[in-house]
Amino acid sequence: MNAMIYHRCDPSDFDAWERQGAVGWGYESLRKYFLKAEKYIPRQPHSADPKNHGTNGMVAHSHVPIAPICETILQATENLGIPVTDDFNTCEGTIGAGPFAAAVDEKHERSSTATAYLTSDVLRRPNLTVAVTVMTERILFAQTPEGAPRAVGIQVSSRRSGPRFAVGASKEVIVCAGAIGSPQLLQLSGIGDSEHLSKLNIPLVREVPAVGRNLLDHVSAGALIFRARAGRTWDYLVQNPFRAAGALLKWLMFGTGPMASLATQVGIFVRTDDERLPFGAPLSVVDRSSGPRAPDLEMVMVPFAVINHGLGYPPWGTYGITTGSIVLKPASSGTVLIMSADPYEHPVIDANYLADENDVKMLVKAVRFLLALARTPPLSDALEFRESTKKGDMFWPGDADPDKVRMRRSRAITKSLNGPLPTIHPQLTDEDIKEFIRDYGQSSWHPTSSVRMGADPKTSAVDPQLRVHRVKALRVIDSSVFPDQVSGHPCAVVVAMAEKAADMIRQDHA
Ligand SMILES: Cc1cc2nc3c(=O)[nH]c(=O)nc-3n(C[C@H](O)[C@H](O)[C@H](O)COP(=O)(O)OP(=O)(O)OC[C@H]3O[C@@H](n4cnc5c(N)ncnc54)[C@H](O)[C@@H]3O)c2cc1C
């Protein structure tokens, strides 16, 4: 359930975390853990300089082949003045355009945290039990002589009406249930906002109001699809079962071809205050980036048409590329709140997308940038634009030329040529784009910060040692503790954090 993009995000993200109270989590400190976790495998034609990467770690990643249309996209971005790079994962930061590195191993298969860390050797260790399809229902507490709650274990089950088991913890309990599951589990265990928990009759263990608050997700304008000329894209992987089977066979036998690649192949990281770039008429936005050299907007490129998150199919014989845009530092934040004391009931996830107008304006800029990029050679030569495309069509607003104006004749003018002059309307207004964003906007599936780290218990849930404030022997280590969103894709960051946390735990129990 992951697009396999391996991204360390921008170095200044972590320095910004440190400024927000996450002492010890700046880039210099995290960098060594990125390097420790990485096993970079150089592969041509795109390749990073191995000296910027770890090569002996657990998480394999590599550059994979990209579709020819994606190479064309990179040439167009270069023509717009955006630097092209083969490596987003250096100390220099991520501004620029380039192919994404993929979490792919030597066998050309996905390298996930499970395949990387839970190797057969590790699974054989006598001090490790991996329990799958098991639900952790709540954390169990005892009281210290000073009256503080201390985590002493967990209660688990494998179905709602099944037996419950208690698992004891001799040292501490470490929660890694993600940005949705961790706040849910803490609330079920009595850690959260006292008013909210009392409504659900959950006994309060410790008041930590930031649990379940500050949820941040990367909001996207939605898939913007451009029609492509025949033979330029990888739509055949979806449309032609014989060629798709051939591609699969090629990957199974040689580890090469389209199936060895990513779906989202190219990223473009920019700053919206870069006046050289075609963001359309000036719309003022607040600079929420992590620093003056960090991006605030990301655009991603897929070499085929993606309808309805890949659940739908474009009409036979239609070809396209799919583009997406991501507000890297959203101003809107939301909540993950349980609505029941039953662990099998889902919490309500409300990311509050687009609540802040700044996020909407950022996405309007992103859509205008993508429309301009599509009309930049040599990409424009590979695409096809039709003026007749209407709202609601899969190629709208991709077909709407942002620079053209349309003459709209009123009925009166048609009847009498002596009528008033026709009014001139821009073909695509900001309001049109906002309507598209509100209709098709979507998550980029990067929820974070719902148990955020910080120094102040009023605004954060865990301290910089990742311990829940004023609770003993309870740590949270996952994307929920990010003090703020990252300017990119979070997986590699979660792994580097876990490596650093492992050192902290080892030190605490030495
Ligand atoms: C479709 C999709 C594509 C993505 N693509 C990318 C990408 O290309 N690159 C990238 O960097 N990031 C990507 N992400 C985001 C990335 O996967 C997440 O940010 C990352 O997995 C977060 O790690 P985590 O450890 O915080 O949580 P998770 O990986 O979500 O792990 C939490 C685990 O806890 C389990 N759990 C939760 N509650 C309980 C409970 N009560 N009891 C027992 N188990 C529980 C969950 O089932 C889950 O297995 C993508 C996400 C999605 C959904």
Q: Whose CA is nearest to atom 38 of ligand 1?
A: 181
Q: How high is the pLDDT of residue 283?
A: 85
pTM of the model: 0.95
CA distances from 280 to 86, 114, 285, 322, 417 (A): 28, 44, 13, 21, 34
Give the CB-side neighbour count of residue 256, counting CA atoms within 13 A: 4
Distance from residue 361's CA to the centre of ligand 1 (Å): 29
pLDDT in tens, 249-308: 999 999 999 999 999 999 999 999 999 999 987 789 999 999 999 999 999 999 999 988
Distance of alpha carbon 153 from alpha carbon 395, whole angstroms:
54
Distance of alpha carbon 401 from alpha carbon 209, whole angstroms:
48
Q: Is the CB of residue 491 below 6 angstroms from any atom belonging to ligand 1?
A: yes
Q: Contact 334/244 with Cβ under 8 angstroms?
A: no
Distance of alpha carbon 482 from alpha carbon 188, whole angstroms:
21
Ligand 1 atom closest to the Cα of residue 491 is 11
CA distances from 20 to 179, 408, 462, 471 (A): 19, 52, 13, 22
| Residue 256: both structure tokens together | 């090469």
Secondary structure of residue 359 in the 3-state scheme: helix
CATH architecture of 219-329+354-440: 2-Layer Sandwich (3.30)
Q: How high is the pLDDT of residue 420?
A: 55
Q: Rounded to the nearest 5 degrees, what angle is found at the Cα of 18, between the Cα atoms of 12 and 20?
A: 105
Distance of alpha carbon 465 from alpha carbon 22, whole angstroms:
9
The dihedral over CA atoms of 276, 399, 225, 435, expressed in degrees to the nearest 10, equals 80
63 — phi, psi (to 5°)?
Answer: -90, 140
- Please name the amino acid found at residue 498: A
Tokens 């990029």 label which residue? Answer: 373
Q: Whose CA is nearest to atom 30 of ligand 1?
A: 178
Q: How high is the pLDDT of residue 403?
A: 75
Q: Contact 209/192 with Cβ under 8 angstroms?
A: yes
List the catalytic residues. 446, 489
Distance from residue 113's CA to the centre of ligand 1 (Å): 10
Whether omega before 45 lies within 30 degrees of 0, making that bond cis, reads yes
Give the CB-side neighbour count of residue 439, counting CA atoms within 13 A: 15
Distance from residue 333's CA to the centre of ligand 1 (Å): 19
* Structural domain spans, the chain: 219-329+354-440
Q: Contact 448/485 with Cβ under 8 angstroms?
A: yes
Ligand 1 atom closest to the Cα of residue 264 is 8
**Which are the contacts of 60, defined by CB distance < 8 A and separation ≥ 6?**
39, 41, 103, 104, 105, 106, 111, 116
Low-confidence residues in the chain, pLDDT < 50:
407-414, 416
- Please name the amino acid found at residue 216: L
Distance of alpha carbon 62 from alpha carbon 65, whole angstroms:
10
Tokens 């821009």 label which residue? Answer: 426
Please classify residue 200 by burial: count the beta carbons closer than 10 Å to its beta carbon, then call 0-12 exposed, 13-18 middle and 19+ buried. Answer: middle
